[in-house]
Structure 1
Amino acid sequence: MLSDSESAELLETFFLKPETRPDVKGHATEYILGLSANRDGCRFLRSKPDMVVATVSLMSDPSFAIAKDCYHAVINLSADPTLHELLVKRCDILPLLFRNLVDPNFQLSDKICTILSNLSRHKNTCRSVLKLLEEEATMGLPKLVEIFCTKDFNKMASLHYLGPLLSNLTQLPEARHFLLDRDRCVIQRLLPYTQYETSTVRRGGVVGSLRNCCFDHTHHEWLLSDAVDILPFLLLPLAGPEELTDEENEGLPVDLQYLSEDKKREPDPDIRKMILETLLLLTATKAGRQLLQNKKVYPIMREFHRWEKEPRIGAVCEKLIQVLIGDEPEEGMENLMEVKIPDDVAEKLKEADCREEEEMKKEEEEMRKEKEERRTEEEEEERRKEEEKISVTDG
């Protein structure tokens, strides 16, 4: 029996070559795909970079089945951050991905989006992705946004994972500057996707991008102005069917007034949390706080807090409410993002956050156990009813 190293050598030398017989290549790529599906296999492939290079080269194989297996394998490999540098630098995978992404007839574009999303999670490789994106003649951030916003750009792919890719890219100031360019109207094109019901992935990617952009407090007034009007797009996913007073309704943005009885809130907890964090960022400046107060954001948050069951999300909502109904900071401390916190105070706040997080984890664990117990009781009750039906039938 061949050792792992001998098997790898055979794969690299003979089976993963473009000129190898298709049936042999097919078996080899299936083997690579199997290896890539678990941590030990990825670790082994990391020690055999030539095998990874060969796999990437076969992503362009004439056989669709072989190319598809290689794309699947690279999705698995790109989920491991320790392989990012190998894929980006030695395999030089990015130009191939970008060239195929702009092809509206390429059948594996969804796989490309997932790989790019994985590779851009961490800042180091995210910089490489953005750099190559801008250098590629057919691509660039404008083209990426155009593809993302064009319905049925590729009829064989949903391209939803371009959302997380955009969110990852906005970790970097260069990408944020592009989205916040007041002459391009990029943010305005993305806002409707905060309520895109078809895909949680796409919706979450856009909300993540908006949150990252809101770390640049100098743009807050513009984002909240009529030129962008970001507030309704953040509040609508958190608003429910609860009846508000006429006074509360009239102060709200028009799109949030007198909502229907069947109004549903954002179902994904991570997206709800990101929206709350975005709103919290917009309260960092005095102008932002005043606008959110004048637009009656508090009643929406009040009802949301009553509805929300996730402790970690409820905690963020409470912080936002405290800012909305609390006193204004003293003079010179109006911009919360520019306030310098003494080291000892920062350490105490960090400890308090850790304690709060531990308490929330305990609450979530208790809630999970209660749900499991209720589910078990319901299953037992169903089983008992079924047994009774059977006994009656037999009788």
Structure 2
Amino acid sequence: MPRAQAGPAPFSWVLGFGLVATTSALQGGRVVALVEGTETETAGGMPGLGVGSGLSGERGLLVQEAGVDTEAADLLPFLKPGVRAELQAVAAQHVLALTGSDSGRALLAGQAELLRALADLAVAPAPAPSRDASRALVNLAADPGLHRQLLAADTELPARLLSCVLDPLWPWAEEAAAVLANLSRELAPCAALMEKLMVSETERLGLERLVNALCTPSYNAAAPLHYLGPLLSNLSQQAEVRAFLLDQDRCVVQRLLPLTQYPDSSVRRGGVVGTLRNCCFEHGLPVDLQYLPPDKQREPDADIRKMLIEAIMLLTATAPGRQQIRDQGAYLVLRELHNWEPEPDVRIACEKLIQVLIGDEPEVGMDNLLEVQVPEDVERQLQQLDRQEQLELAQELRDKGAPLT
């Protein structure tokens, strides 16, 4: 049986945000850190050579040989509270660089104390290097295999990041939202975050405030908070969240609908569409969702177009739902979309929806297609057809010269 889905693929600050994996902390494979004095013992007991920095007093640069395979534990002393801000900054930059590779993330995954220190820095006020610490957490959380280690190192990480996200004065709220969006893709962390939201409702740190922040572009002057969209989409995997969103007294869906056309961010737009798609499992969306203004343009993002089609497909699970979609003239719109659609996978999704709308009604006892128990032999046949469809899609993409994902 289908279930509510998480949002788009995880975000990586190194890979997904256009930032390079190396930072100013890396120079020719060496970690450069500001320290007091001309010679200093590093965490590993190795003496560091002081290099003149032009700073006043006996301050210099400690240059320690450190490739990607350097013990991550050596960075820990420089990340702890009480260390000078410039030392923390360079250490945080090096950790961020490590999170840009599989080997670097694997190295950090086994360092629970370092992960805890990184989490502390991510929510620490200036002059702590909160931005780089937060971006390192984004990259770590983009790997589902590291979620357990992150949450074990700091069980309060979701709640602490949520407080930062909902603080209208926190400058790195976007980064905090991206960490939560990555963490909440998996059902277990998503449920844990949901529990924090419900507990925090009386403290105005709950869903109501999250939705308010998402629907208010000026909520934080320093952070656009686009990643609240994917975060809410992931949270809507939970039935309690869908119940909240569809509560007619709250009018949340009506507030979200304008964001399906939000021009400044496909991330925000896609997250809202994903949220509405998951809400379609409840088949209780208000009439507002059925109508669009006459000047509405087609959604430019193919992934979002596909999610919109999937949302309508969910609404066709019941006979009344199918009839209502037909009555709205959806077939004509979908036919034109199919003729125009350049992306093969979106076109296939469109074809499936059209087949549901124009096909014969299922026999009695199969009123809700989401609840139909499919025999094992039929399920195997359907899986075989899906595999064949994917092969044909891959071939079509190769013929177009498009990259395979």
Distance (whole Å) between structure 2 residues aligned to residue 175 and residue 125 of structure 1: 15
Match of 2:85 in 1: 22
Structure 1: 5+ residue stretches without partners: 237-254, 371-395
Distance (whole Å) between structure 2 residues aligned to residue 205 and residue 267 of structure 1: 15
Residues 308, 314 of structure 1: 8 Å contact kept: yes
Match of 1:274 in 2: 307
3-state DSSP class of the match of 2:83? coil
Q: Determine which of 81, 104, 107 is the counterpart of 2:144.
A: 81
Residues 301, 317 of structure 1: 8 Å contact kept: yes
Distance (whole Å) between structure 2 residues aligned to residue 61 and residue 123 of structure 1: 28
3-state DSSP class of the match of 2:217? coil
Aligned pair 1:231/2:290, yes or no? yes
Aligned pair 1:321/2:380, yes or no? no
Residues 88, 128 of structure 1: 8 Å contact kept: no
One-letter amino acid of the counterpart of residue 85, structure 2? P
Match of 2:172 in 1: 108
Q: Determine which of 41, 44, 57 is the counterpart of 2:107.
A: 44
The count of aligned residue pairs is: 336
Q: Determine which of 375, 386, 397 is the counterpart of 1:364.
A: 397
Tell me the CA shift for residue 6 of structure 1. 7.9
Cα 1:10–1:293 shift into 2, 3 Å = closer
Distance (whole Å) between structure 2 residues aligned to residue 120 and residue 210 of structure 1: 17
Aligned pair 1:125/2:158, yes or no? no
Identity %: 45
Q: Greater shift after overlay, 44-53 or 160-169?
A: 44-53
3-state DSSP class of the match of 1:143? helix
Residues 217-239 of structure 1: CA deviation (Å, up to 9, x unaligned): xxx2x42xxx443122xxx5xxx
3-state DSSP class of the match of 1:229? helix
Cα 1:57–1:187 shift into 2, 3 Å = same
Match of 2:220 in 1: 154
One-letter amino acid of the counterpart of residue 313, structure 2? L
Residues 233, 272 of structure 2: 8 Å contact kept: yes
Higher RCO, 1 vs 2 (CA within 8 Å, ≥6 residues apart): 2
Cα 1:62–1:157 shift into 2, 3 Å = closer
Residues 84-141 of structure 1: CA deviation (Å, up to 9, x unaligned): 1232232231222122222211111111110110110111111111112222333111
Q: Determine which of 113, 118, 122 is the counterpart of 1:55.
A: 118
3-state DSSP class of the match of 2:325? helix
Tell me the CA shift for residue 46 of structure 1. 0.7
Cα 1:34–1:74 shift into 2, 3 Å = same
Match of 2:326 in 1: 293
Cα 1:89–1:141 shift into 2, 3 Å = farther
Q: Greater shift after overlay, 39-48 or 91-100?
A: 91-100
Q: CA RMSD in A?
A: 2.1
Is the strand fraction higher in 1 or 2? Answer: 2
Cα 1:31–1:269 shift into 2, 3 Å = same
Tell me the CA shift for residue 179 of structure 1. 1.2
Distance (whole Å) between structure 2 residues aligned to residue 369 and residue 83 of structure 1: 31
Match of 1:244 in 2: none
Cα 1:105–1:361 shift into 2, 3 Å = same
Distance (whole Å) between structure 1 residues aligned to residue 360 and residue 279 of structure 2: 26
Residues 190-222 of structure 1: CA deviation (Å, up to 9, x unaligned): 112111111101110011111111123xxx2x4
Residues 276, 316 of structure 1: 8 Å contact kept: yes
3-state DSSP class of the match of 2:106? helix
Match of 2:159 in 1: 95
Residues 88, 128 of structure 2: 8 Å contact kept: no
One-letter amino acid of the counterpart of residue 158, structure 1? P
Q: Determine which of 178, 182, 186 is the counterpart of 2:248.
A: 182
Aligned pair 1:335/2:368, yes or no? yes
One-letter amino acid of the counterpart of residue 177, structure 1? A
One-letter amino acid of the counterpart of residue 126, structure 1? C
One-letter amino acid of the counterpart of residue 303, structure 1? E
Distance (whole Å) between structure 2 residues aligned to residue 341 and residue 228 of structure 1: 32
Is the helix fraction higher in 1 or 2? Answer: 1
Residues 324-362 of structure 1: CA deviation (Å, up to 9, x unaligned): 222222222232222222111111111111111111111
Taking structure 1 as the reference length, the TM-score comes to 0.80
Tell me the CA shift for residue 7 of structure 1. 4.8
One-letter amino acid of the counterpart of residue 389, structure 2? E
Distance (whole Å) between structure 2 residues aligned to residue 113 and residue 369 of structure 1: 31
Residues 18, 61 of structure 1: 8 Å contact kept: no
Match of 1:389 in 2: none
Q: Greater shift after overlay, 46-55 or 322-331?
A: 322-331
Structure 2: 5+ residue stretches without partners: 1-45, 47-64
Q: Determine which of 260, 276, 279 is the counterpart of 1:210.
A: 276
